[in-house]
Chain A
Amino acid sequence: MTPLLEVRGIDKSFGPVKVLHDVGFSAYAGQVTALVGDNGAGKSTLVKCIGGIYPIDSGQVLFDGEEVQVHSPRDAGELGIEIVYQDLALCDNLDIVQNMFLGRERKHGLLLDEDSMEELAEKTLSGLSVRTVKSIRQQVSSLSGGQRQTVAIAKAVLWNSKVVILDEPTAALGVAQTAQVLELVRRLADTGLAVVLISHNMNDVFAVSDRIAALYLGRMAAQVATADVTHAQVVELITSGRSGELGLKNGVTP
């Protein structure tokens, strides 16, 4: 199977500090790929390179098997890559529909086409089986943490996106809301999207992922099927870059 999104040999430095060394990473349609690694391993940098926020020093980005150039978030958006950052980037003083269409409002002549935006927002939320929000005209400031996460994810899905990258979506949530967000993450992939989940919580990773990619000090230690590894092995990959046959050899990607 061709990965929907693949990067090969990515290098990235900030001045004298080399952050990513020869990193390869793939995400497949219909699957959740968990991206794990310690603080400072390079997860966020990798995601920002994919999202066009940081230019890469060298390496290739392939989308659906074809090499593409991603120089800006706009390029990424046009390919169908959406990223939901930890801070969610929602505006508290706007309602759910306004947030979902922020900066990409639909117009009817000179006026905003509120009806069609409302309808599409409603359809997207119900398509994700989201039943937790009462009204889509509610202000975002009145929503709980889990509901905000849901709105941010729905916003990412609205644009016919093909790859959705979620940065620690359950970090600030309680157990009940974490469960709902995890189920939403799983449903996104089951509807055919390629989902990338960044998480520190191993239960979250094992609960929904099909594949696990472990970064260690800026190198991709291993990309494995979740069905083939144990919790202990993944923890070893994260903390030492290797585990038995898996991982880096002499500190280098084999």
Chain B
Amino acid sequence: MRAGPSQEDIRRHNLGALLRHVHLGGPISRAELTAKMGLNRSTIMALTSDLTAAGLVREELPRETGRAGRPSLVVRPESARVYVFAFDVGPDRLAVARVGLGGVILDRRETVRDRDRFDLDEVAGLLAGFARQMRRKTRADTVCVGAAAAVSGGVRKGDGVVRFGPNLKAEEVPFGEELGRRLGLGLPVSVGNDANLAALAEHSRGVGAAVRDLIYLHGDVGIGGGIIAGGHLLGGHEGYGGEVGHMVVNPGGRACGCGSHGCLEAEVGERALLESAGRVSSGRHGRDAVRTVVDAADRGDIVAQEGLSRVGDWLGLGVANLVNIFNPEMVIFGGILREIYLGSAAQVRSQLTLHAMAPQRERLRLRTSALGDSATLVGAAELAFAHVLADPLEVLARANA
């Protein structure tokens, strides 16, 4: 028989819950915390003073409240002091951000990545170098409490090994371990799929905040996805779940990087758009090339219009399938899919009307990403903060040691 939670467990849980409120919701008064957490005032006071002593939050008098009586103290995250490193490894870019508690991006570095190969030493070396540069610039009283990376590929939940990443040209790469070794901070580096993490980011502090069931679709070279159901990310048995880009929408269609044919990614991804818009020969790729197609379509270029509307049809069909299966409250388009959705919404929504079932589509909200290019980094930062929120004092004690 399992014993019930000890007092110590309950305290740890409450500390984490309070810190989560401050981390996700921003500065909040003690009085509001009392109401939101359903704990009494003296408990809130004890919890905040523990977190203050650990240097995770600080308490301040609010600016004028305009109300009578003694104002309740406002609890703020120590964003400038407590931070994590967030990494993003995409097909076209490598990025690192130093993100403070509360989700503030304090500093960031970014460079263009060569699409043709994946060299673990080079990538990990470069990212760790950026992190060291940023760390040198920090004040002495700052503390790094975690690190995590968003990678465009399938990541094994247990050990952060990138199992497959056709768009990165990476396979069986022990990325988390290598990056952790090179960082030399004595901290493990958690690794997650970029679209999964961007979904978490939009769910925790983006357009999908307070939405418990959502699907985030991320477009770059390929199409990634993150499915949040009942407030939790669907990772599947080993963490490879959510690969909506490899849902087959057109059997016998275009060849996909994964080896199959007619995957959503093969019909909607960057290559498909550039090919059907007749723009492969220009030699340009990436987000700018996609923008050029949308722009040309807007100016009346018929080939670009046809290419875009063809891609919009496939995207709509893919979303209709997902909507029928998961009944999300919101579908979010991020990465290049933001431009593609806004430029072909008539096609996307017509396909939804034709193929999604009425009860699922009636209240569905289609939105573009609120975090934009930062979504993957913000998501990686949330992953890095996760263990701090689970046990704030223990993690801080270890980081300060």
| CB neighbors of B among A188-226 (8 A) | 202-208, 225-226
Is B344 a contact partner of A175 (Cβ separation < 8 A)? no
Check if A129 is an interface residue, CB within 8 A of chain B. Answer: yes
* A to B contact number (C-beta, < 8 Å): 59
C-beta contact mask, A210-254 vs B, less than 8 Å → 1, else 0?
000000000000000111111110000000000000000000000
Check if A178 is an interface residue, CB within 8 A of chain B. Answer: yes
Is B349 a contact partner of A227 (Cβ separation < 8 A)? yes
Identify B346's interface contact among A129, A175, A186, A205, CB under 8 A. Answer: A205
Is A174 a contact partner of B362 (Cβ separation < 8 A)? no
- Helix, strand, loop or mixed for chain B's interface? helix
Chain A residues with Cβ under 8 A from B344's Cβ? 203
**Stretch with Cβ within 8 A of A (4 or more), from B49-57, B228-236, B335-343:** B335-343
Is B353 a contact partner of A227 (Cβ separation < 8 A)? yes
Chain B residues with Cβ under 8 A from A202's Cβ? 346
Is B341 a contact partner of A230 (Cβ separation < 8 A)? no
From A129, A179, A202, A225, residue with most partner B Cβ within 10 Å: A179
Is B350 a contact partner of A231 (Cβ separation < 8 A)? yes
Check if A183 is an interface residue, CB within 8 A of chain B. Answer: yes
Is B342 a contact partner of A227 (Cβ separation < 8 A)? no
- Helix, strand, loop or mixed for chain A's interface? helix
Check if A182 is an interface residue, CB within 8 A of chain B. Answer: yes
Check if B274 is an interface residue, CB within 8 A of chain A. Answer: no
Chain A residues with Cβ under 8 A from B358's Cβ? 228
C-beta contact mask, B145-156 vs A, less than 8 Å → 1, else 0?
000000000000
Is A203 a contact partner of B368 (Cβ separation < 8 A)? no
In angstroms, Cα B201 to Cα A164, docked, is: 30
Closest to A228 in B: B353
Identify A227's interface contact among B346, B362, B368, CB under 8 A. Answer: B362
Check if B345 is an interface residue, CB within 8 A of chain A. Answer: yes
Number of interface residues of A (CB under 8 A): 24
Chain B residues with Cβ under 8 A from A208's Cβ? 345
Is B361 a contact partner of A227 (Cβ separation < 8 A)? yes
CB distance from A246 to the nearest CB of B (A): 12
CB distance from B96 to the nearest CB of A (A): 22
Identify A203's interface contact among B295, B345, B352, B353, CB under 8 A. Answer: B345
Is A174 a contact partner of B298 (Cβ separation < 8 A)? yes
Identify A175's interface contact among B294, B361, B364, B366, CB under 8 A. Answer: B294
In angstroms, Cα B338 to Cα A207, docked, is: 10
Is B368 a contact partner of A175 (Cβ separation < 8 A)? no
Check if B348 is an interface residue, CB within 8 A of chain A. Answer: yes
Is A179 a contact partner of B346 (Cβ separation < 8 A)? no
In angstroms, Cα B291 to Cα A190, docked, is: 27
Is B367 a contact partner of A186 (Cβ separation < 8 A)? yes
Is B354 a contact partner of A230 (Cβ separation < 8 A)? yes
Is B294 a contact partner of A227 (Cβ separation < 8 A)? no
In angstroms, Cα B369 to Cα A179, docked, is: 12
Check if B167 is an interface residue, CB within 8 A of chain A. Answer: no
Is B353 a contact partner of A232 (Cβ separation < 8 A)? no
Counting from the closest, the 9 A-B pairs by CB-CB distance are A207-B345, A230-B350, A206-B345, A231-B346, A202-B346, A206-B346, A206-B349, A231-B350, A175-B295
A-B contact pairs, 9 of them (CB 8 A): A174-B298, A175-B291, A179-B339, A179-B368, A206-B346, A227-B361, A228-B353, A230-B353, A232-B350
9 A-B pairs besides A176-B291, A231-B350 with CB distance below 8 A are: A175-B295, A203-B345, A203-B346, A206-B348, A207-B342, A225-B362, A227-B361, A227-B364, A229-B353
